[in-house]
Homo-oligomer: A and B are copies of this chain.
Amino acid sequence: MAVGDSIFPAMGPIPGVRLGSAMAGIKKPGRRDLVVIEVAPGARVSGTFTRNAFCAAPVHVARQHLAAGDAVRYLVINTGNANAGTGEIGMRDAHATCQALAELAEVSADQVLPFSTGVIGEPLPMEQLLGGLPEALDQLDDGGDAWALAAEGILTTDTRTKGATRQVTLKQGTVTLNGIAKGSGMIRPDMATMLGFVATDAAIESERLDALLREGVKRSFNSITVDSDTSTNDACMLIATGQGAALADDDDERIFRQALDEVLVELAQAIIRDGEGATKFVTLNVSGALSVEEAREVAFTVAHSPLVKTALYASDANWGRILAAVGRARVEDFDVDRVTIDLGDVRLVENGGRAEGYSEDAGSAVMAAEEITIAIDLGRGDAAARVWTSDLSHDYVSINADYRS
């Protein structure tokens, strides 16, 4: 299941970026499962990664290679196997993958960043993976189809490809941003995301690129949750090839940041719309908090509540469950009499209880929609946060109980 329609957008090329993919037979035959992204010399690459302490071997290696400072030339991504929880063998396999691609492409191994997603704890099928590399390199192309095929080649339990694109005009010319992402379950990114790859031809120095990514990810991938389970393999990469216009001044940076944030938010929302078993797309707006952290604590407590999520699935305006979840959030000296909770345009809670004038009919009408907004004002400060989540359905249980994923 998934919420709403989804059409992969038409993407223009990003000068300096080519993508190729292959069916390597990593998990099963006939499935696009290997993607190579080539970046031209001179490009800047920035990345954020999972905070899960059991992070995967490719995350370790990608971090090392990024820190080594040699210009990144290739990203290699496989689906079907996360190469996580694989100990020393996993590290060896991740290094071997970089080495093999480096030899084929005549660069050095630390100019290659590896990414994996799929089942945890099984060794990478190296024969298949290495066997698929030549084809993926052969297919390298900068056309829109290459982005669509790459978006397909990184999916796991996703039911849809996820892409977003923007063009903005800066002082020195028009630049393009293209992004693709994957993710459906084990989604509660922590200072990172599931796999997301965004590229632009804009010219941006490394420090500024890092800051733009860090800030953008906070408001997008780090503001979504399907099931509270932070993955071992989350990574979001931002590539700036520098073959287009530079950010000439603060205005340009503002315009570019806006477009980048839109791309990141669109990809993050696409993950929620395609959340495992999702039948609802839910926006949680928490305001009136003492700090952004406090607002996020309340938003995520509600977003993770199995009772709220099953009520959303049932289209049941069971506001008592929302109230109970807000009440158990870790908030100091919490005066609940000042809290208001709105479901769409219907006031549910005020003065510590059900709002005067609330009717089940009004609440049920809002809950019947596929897209629902819950607004919670804590009445104690000016900080706010927004989080997106999905519901908890029979299909979520089936997807995660019936198959090893």
Contact = CB atoms under 8 A, between A and B. Distances in A.
Interface of A: 51-55, 82, 84-90, 119-121, 185-186, 188, 190, 227-232, 304-307, 310-311, 313-314, 316, 318-321, 323-329, 331, 334-336, 349, 351-354, 392-394, 396-398, 400-402, 404
B328 A396 contact: no
Contacts of A84: 320, 323-324
Contacts of A392: 306, 397
A397 B353 contact: no
A329 B52 CA distance: 8
Closest 3 CB pairs of A and B: A120-B320, A87-B353, A54-B327
A328 B121 contact: no
Contacts of A185: 307
A51 to B, nearest CB: 8
A120 B327 contact: no
B394 A397 contact: yes
Contacts of A318: 404
A401 to B, nearest CB: 4
A228 B306 contact: yes
A125 B90 CA distance: 62
A328 B85 contact: no
A75 B231 CA distance: 47
B85 A320 contact: yes
Contacts of A336: 53-54
24 contacts: A53-B327, A54-B326, A54-B352, A85-B320, A87-B353, A88-B351, A89-B353, A120-B321, A121-B320, A121-B354, A186-B321, A188-B328, A227-B306, A228-B306, A229-B306, A229-B324, A229-B328, A230-B324, A306-B400, A311-B401, A314-B401, A393-B397, A394-B398, A397-B397
Residue with the highest number of chain B CB atoms closer than 10 Å, among A306, A311, A326, A336? A306
A52 B323 CA distance: 10
Given A86-B353, A313-B401, A397-B397, A229 B53 contact: no
B397 A52 contact: no
Nearest to A358: B121
A191 to B, nearest CB: 11
A160 B275 CA distance: 35
Contacts of A353: 85-90, 121
Given A53-B327, A232-B327, A392-B397, A186 B307 contact: yes
A118 to B, nearest CB: 10
A28 to B, nearest CB: 18
Contacts of A53: 326-329, 331, 334-336
Contacts of A400: 306-307, 310-311, 314
A376 to B, nearest CB: 12
